[in-house]
């Protein structure tokens, strides 16, 4: 099976709702028809097997029709991150060698500022949709499941972003692994508010529910009050979000209940234990933390939906995924010791496009080297300590940022915290904390220092503090510490 065939297995229930968007419901029968027409249209426009098609639009049914239509017609999808600057998008379009760009008028006007590229823009408006739905029948290539379905460009923490090449088999493996780890079924309703151009939003909120034959309720962007209303009245049973979404929902302080919600799944970045406890006390549903990365399609670990959930843990590997912790000499470490988290499974990428050296480094020994520092406990649960490149070494001692951040957010005046290392003439580095104050609070350095003395070794306590109204984030909600290292929030 290829990803564009996912929903076909549920055509014995063609009237079952597949997508809900605003006041419109699209059945599985209509979804199949629309995907087929988009594929026919692209084939008619000359899309050849293996050619890349950039996709730039917000969450909407047409995103799904386009994505699955591209892959059915034999192409490879290059989703564009709409939060990136035009110059960044230009690099991705050029680097991928995309032949077509599918977009909407507002975004098309922005992207028209690109320097000249051999790129054909298909702007979804009334006229184009008329052509799409009148496209004649076409023959499509029978692509192998190992053929590349998508290029997912990483956030580019160093240098330019690079494209993780994911095959149809990679994406389907992750959907199957999620199915094996859960008990969701056709009557579930997933809320798709995470951007579909992000790996978490696409695999977990679109491909996985289509694999199950579920309903997907689509929100085009994150508006807290609108999302709270949908969760309260829209029959949503599964909500996938990033930590900042849960924090913002808690700030609404509305007496609202989510009567149909079974689970909320948090990913994209670490979620403070205090946020999990507050959300569960407020709404009485579990928040299940997981872990993944684009190079693994993306989900790797998840706290059990049924069974023991451990706060601050990313859970256990999905069925079919292997995870272990290695030291700097690639030796496996025992429980409790921190090293690099590495992954092996059918969901791991084929490599980086046109980056053979970086591919070889990332896939050493057949394992995906994530660059994340972690440890495993005696029960097989994993815990992230931070990025290898974010490890702080102060006076010869290792400091893992997440440990300090978790301690900081326990203080009532701290809503969010991010910790980095900054250079010091004697110690090499010292710990610096960026603090988002809790509503109605004015935290101060001395008070936080005394609070942390009871919880952390002295060398782990921040020597510098910056109080800021917000923290810079990437698309998936992850705090962009490289921007903090550049001092961009220091004048807040």
Question: Is 255 part of a structural domain of the chain?
Answer: yes
Domain with 50 in it: what CATH number?
3.40.50.980
pLDDT value, residue 321: 98
Residue 6: other Cβ atoms inside 10 A: 23
pLDDT value at residue 158: 47
Confidence of residue 208 (pLDDT cuts 50, 70, 90): very high
Report, as an integer, the average pLDDT of 193-212. Answer: 96
- In a shared domain, residues 301 and 217: yes
Name the pLDDT band for 157 (thresholds 50, 70, 90): very low
User: Same domain for 412 and 434?
Assistant: yes
Residue 132: its pLDDT value, please? 98
**pLDDT above 70: percentage of residues in the chain:** 96
Distance CA 386, CA 354 (A): 28
Residue 310 is part of a domain; what is its CATH number?
3.40.50.12780
Q: Answer yes or no: do 359 and 400 share one domain.
A: no
Q: With bands split at pLDDT 50, 70 and 90, how would you rate the model's confidence at 458?
A: confident
Q: Is residue 150 part of a domain?
A: no
Between CA 26 and CA 319, with CA 180 as vertex, the angle to 5 degrees is 135
Round to whole Å and give the CA distance between 161 and 423.
26
- The CA distance from 490 to 468, in Å, is 8
Which of 125, 143, 161 is the endpoint of a domain?
Answer: 143
Pair 474, 480: CB distance under 8 Å? yes
CB 242 within 8 A of CB 270: no
* 107/208 same-domain check: no
SS3 477: coil
351-380 confidence digits (pLDDT tens): 999 999 999 999 999 999 999 999 999 999
In this structure, the answer to whether residues 399 and 374 fall within a common structural domain is no
Distance of CA 89 to the CA centre of its chain: 18
In-domain check, residue 170: no
Asked if residue 341 is part of any domain, the answer here is yes
Distance CA 434, CA 198 (A): 26
Same-domain status, 14 and 62? yes
Q: Give per-residue pLDDT as tens, 382-408.
A: 999 888 878 888 877 778 888 899 899
382: left (phi over 0), alpha (psi -120 to 50) or beta: beta
Percent of the chain scoring above 90 in pLDDT: 69
Same domain, 251 and 353: yes
The total of structural domains in the chain comes to 3
Asked whether residue 271 carries a pLDDT value surpassing 50, the answer given is yes
Cβ atoms 406, 418 nearer than 8 A: no
- pLDDT score of 492 more than 80: no
Strand order in the sheet with 382-387: 321-326, 339-345, 368-376, 382-387
Range of the domain at 43: 3-143
Residues 6+ apart with CB under 8 A from 362: 295, 351, 352, 368, 369
Q: Average pLDDT, stretch 263-282?
A: 87
Has residue 148 been placed in a domain?
A: no
Residue 165 lies in a domain: no
What's the whole-number mean pLDDT along residues 325-339?
95
Residues 207, 102 share a domain? no
Domain final residue pick, 364, 387, 410? 387
Q: Are residues 238 and 260 in the same domain?
A: yes
Rounded alpha-carbon distances, angstroms, from residue 261 to 243, 287, 322? 17, 11, 30
User: Do 248 and 367 sit in the same domain of this protein?
Assistant: yes
- Whether residue 159 lies inside any domain: the answer is no
Can you give the pTM of this predicted structure? 0.86
CATH number of the domain encompassing residue 423: 3.30.300.30
Residues 380 and 243 in one domain: yes
Does 151 map to a domain?
no
Instruction: Tell me the three state secondary structure of residue 199.
Output: helix
Per 3-state DSSP, the chain is made up of helix, strand and coil in percentages (nearest 5) of 35, 25, 40
Final residue before a domain boundary, out of 143, 166, 197: 143
Identify whether residues 245 and 368 lie together within a single domain: yes
Beta strand 100-103 with 120-123 is parallel
Average pLDDT over residues 8-31: 95
pLDDT tens sequence across 171-198 = 999 999 999 999 999 999 999 999 999 9
Kind of pairing between the strands at 163-167 and 351-352? antiparallel
């Amino acid at each position: 099976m290829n990803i564009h065939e996912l929903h076909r297995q549920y055509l014995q229930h063609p009237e079952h709702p597949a997508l809900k968007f605003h006041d419109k419901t699209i059945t599985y029968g209509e979804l199949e028809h629309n995907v087929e027409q988009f594929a026919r249209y692209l084939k008619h426009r000359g899309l050849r097997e293996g050619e890349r098609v950039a996709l730039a639009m917000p969450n909407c049914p047409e995103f799904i029709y386009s994505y699955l239509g591209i892959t059915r017609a034999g192409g490879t999808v290059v989703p564009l991150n709409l939060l990136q600057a035009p110059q960044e998008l230009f690099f991705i379009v050029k680097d991928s060698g995309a032949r077509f760009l599918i977009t909407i008028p507002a975004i098309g006007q922005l992207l028209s500022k690109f320097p000249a590229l051999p790129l054909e823009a298909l702007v979804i408006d009334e006229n184009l949709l008329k052509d799409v739905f009148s496209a004649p029948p076409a023959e499509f290539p029978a692509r192998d499941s190992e053929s590349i379905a998508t290029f997912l460009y990483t956030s580019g923490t160093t240098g330019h972003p690079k494209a993780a090449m994911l095959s149809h088999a990679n994406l389907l493996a992750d959907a199957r692994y999620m199915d094996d780890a859960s008990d969701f079924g056709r009557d579930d309703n997933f809320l798709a508010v995470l951007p579909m151009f992000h790996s978490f939003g696409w695999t977990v909120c679109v491909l996985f529910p289509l694999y199950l034959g579920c309903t997907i309720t689509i929100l085009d962007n994150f508006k807290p009050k609108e999302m709270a209303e949908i969760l309260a009245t829209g029959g949503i049973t599964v909500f996938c979000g990033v930590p900042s979404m849960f924090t913002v929902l808690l700030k609404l302080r509305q007496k609202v209940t989510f009567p149909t919600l079974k689970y909320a799944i948090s990913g994209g970045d670490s979620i403070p234990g205090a946020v999990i406890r507050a959300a569960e006390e407020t709404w009485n549903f579990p928040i299940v933390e997981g872990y993944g990365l684009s190079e693994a399609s993306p989900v790797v670990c998840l706290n059990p939906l049924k069974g023991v959930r451990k706060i601050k843990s990313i859970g256990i590997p999905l069925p079919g995924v292997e995870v272990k912790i290695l030291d700097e000499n690639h030796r496996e470490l025992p429980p409790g010791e921190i090293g690099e988290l590495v992954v092996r499974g059918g969901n791991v990428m084929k490599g980086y496009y046109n980056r053979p050296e970086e591919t070889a480094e990332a896939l050493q020994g057949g394992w995906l080297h994530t660059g994340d520092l972690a440890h495993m406990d005696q029960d097989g649960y994993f815990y992230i300590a931070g990025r290898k490149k974010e490890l702080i070494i102060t006076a010869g001692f290792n400091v893992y940022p997440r440990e300090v951040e978790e301690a900081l957010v326990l203080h009532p005046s701290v809503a969010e915290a991010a910790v980095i290392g900054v250079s010091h003439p004697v110690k090499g580095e010292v710990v610096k904390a960026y603090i988002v104050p809790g509503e109605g609070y004015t935290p101060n350095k001395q008070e936080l220092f005394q609070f942390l003395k009871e919880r952390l070794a002295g060398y782990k306590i921040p020597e510098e503090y910056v109080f800021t109204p917000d923290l810079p984030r990437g698309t998936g909600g992850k705090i962009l510490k490289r921007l903090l290292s550049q001092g961009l929030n220091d004048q807040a």
